[in-house]
Chain A
């Protein structure tokens, strides 16, 4: 037998054998998959953010097909996308509540006292493990960007040591809410414009000692705009369940004495325009 014949025969033989074996096993071990699951997965945004409570978009698609979740449970999909999925499956879309995250704290490096210098790993979870974190307020944003790093949409920016959410990028998946060690991020209805930028339930004077922009619980907002605010302990909150949400005019009318009641745009504008905090200033 010549080398050439041997070479051709060996390659052809092994190739053929592999082909036959793979073909045989592919038939034998065939896995039947639901075509609808793939269809729904394709229609979903594919962000795999986990905002729906499932492991990812394909997992969520499975639960939609099985009827466990309505398509509207996906916080990222727009109304049109949800309708498209519902139409494709011939099921009810379910009611959609678009949400956005908001960091309920206005205490950046300028506004809130720091009790200690923290030199450890730049991460809110690590920092909060060291005696509760360096910040004077035990409820405020630590501003080390754990949420910003986790955000799958890059919607969180750390400005002056405070996490600020860019509303137009936020889809309301809730990833940041889950990772924040201080629970300072809340999911609110997307149409809400006005928020109380304070998370501390402590008494007014105690808050005043560590922060320049706390909610003192003065109830001015509750009196001025009936039903739009509630007071929880020493902290006012926007009543997001109310039929009418507070507007920019309401904020003007109320005139919060500390300025922690703001529209999201105003809050962002203030944080963006504050002088850049310079290292070494208060160390």
Chain B
């Protein structure tokens, strides 16, 4: 039951983009075409899951530990450490992918390094820490947060592709209508609030 709540919560109710307003930059930047949006979604799901796993391990075992019968709490290092680890992790994955799977490397392309400093990834790690999730819970939450991000991004990219063909009044063309669409989409997701 706890995991169902986590899943539905991460994907729909507290959607990263449309309810928490994290990761708006790629949401607007890489949503012009469905193809690139898919690449970005894949990269975000991948990195978010891995980052959640690693950072929750660090949070539970490194940021607070027993030493000599006393508890040492260095929780104030949380943000610094998370950014360091996420950046290093993404770098590592990129190096390995380039050699092991050039196809996947090409598909993820520029998006992998782009999401190194994405606030959605750091946000997932921080939410895990604040809610004191166990490592498994954190990993599940990270994965489904990524799925939620992907859902929002793909929905929005499809909408924008259709908008390209629509007769939009001149002052609203481009980013203006995209922002209005994003707002309406966010309002639609408010309908899920209170579900869990």
- Pairwise interchain contact B72-A3, C-beta atoms closer than 8 A: yes
By a CB distance below 8 angstroms, the chain B residues around A21 are: 88, 92
Of B70, B81, B95, which contacts A26 at CB under 8 A? B95
By a CB distance below 8 angstroms, the chain B residues around A149 are: 164
- Pairwise interchain contact A7-B77, C-beta atoms closer than 8 A: yes
- Pairwise interchain contact B99-A29, C-beta atoms closer than 8 A: yes
Given A14-B84, A22-B92, A25-B92: A31 touches B98 (CB 8 Å cut-off): yes
By a CB distance below 8 angstroms, the chain B residues around A1 are: 67-68, 70, 72
Report Cα–Cα, A54/B90, bound state, in Å: 30
Report Cα–Cα, A122/B162, bound state, in Å: 11
Report Cα–Cα, A12/B82, bound state, in Å: 14
Report Cα–Cα, A29/B102, bound state, in Å: 12
- Pairwise interchain contact A29-B96, C-beta atoms closer than 8 A: yes
A123 within 8 A of B: yes
By a CB distance below 8 angstroms, the chain B residues around A25 are: 92, 95-96
Report Cα–Cα, A133/B76, bound state, in Å: 66
Which B-chain residue is minimally distant from A26 (CB atoms)?
B95
State the main secondary structure of chain B at its contact with A. helix
- Pairwise interchain contact B95-A6, C-beta atoms closer than 8 A: no
Of B62, B74, B80, most buried by chain A (CB within 10 Å of CB) is: B74
Number of chain B interface residues as a range: 20 to 34
Contact with A along B28-70 (1 / 0, CB 8 A): 0000000000000000000000000000001000110001101
A116 within 8 A of B: no
Chain B nearest CB, measured from A208 CB (Å): 34
A10 within 8 A of B: yes
Of B74, B98, B100, B167, which contacts A10 at CB under 8 A? B74
Of B81, B95, B100, B164, which contacts A11 at CB under 8 A? B81
Q: How many inter-chain contacts with C-beta < 8 Å in the A-B complex?
A: 57
By a CB distance below 8 angstroms, the chain B residues around A14 are: 58, 62, 81, 84-85
Which A-chain residue is minimally distant from B97 (CB atoms)?
A29
Of B72, B80, B91, which contacts A22 at CB under 8 A? B91
- Pairwise interchain contact B99-A31, C-beta atoms closer than 8 A: yes
User: Which of chain B's residues 84-123 have a Cβ closer than 8 Å to chain A?
Assistant: 84-85, 88, 91-92, 95-96, 98-100
B165 within 8 A of A: yes
A53 within 8 A of B: no
Which B-chain residue is minimally distant from A6 (CB atoms)?
B72
A94 within 8 A of B: no
A45 within 8 A of B: no
- Pairwise interchain contact A10-B95, C-beta atoms closer than 8 A: no
A18 within 8 A of B: yes
Report Cα–Cα, A123/B164, bound state, in Å: 10
Given A3-B74, A7-B74: A18 touches B85 (CB 8 Å cut-off): yes
B73 within 8 A of A: yes
A257 within 8 A of B: no
Additional 9 contacts, C-beta under 8 A, given A1-B67, A1-B68, A31-B99: A7-B74, A10-B62, A11-B84, A14-B85, A18-B84, A18-B92, A21-B92, A29-B100, A149-B164
Which 5 residue pairs of A and B lie closest in terms of their CB atoms, listed nearest first?
Answer: A29-B99, A18-B88, A7-B74, A6-B72, A121-B165
Interface residue ranges, B against A (CB under 8 Å): 58, 62-63, 67-68, 70, 72-74, 76-77, 80-81, 84-85, 88, 91-92, 95-96, 98-100, 164-165, 167
Interface residue ranges, A against B (CB under 8 Å): 1, 3, 6-7, 10-11, 14-15, 18-19, 21-22, 25-26, 29-31, 121-123, 126, 149
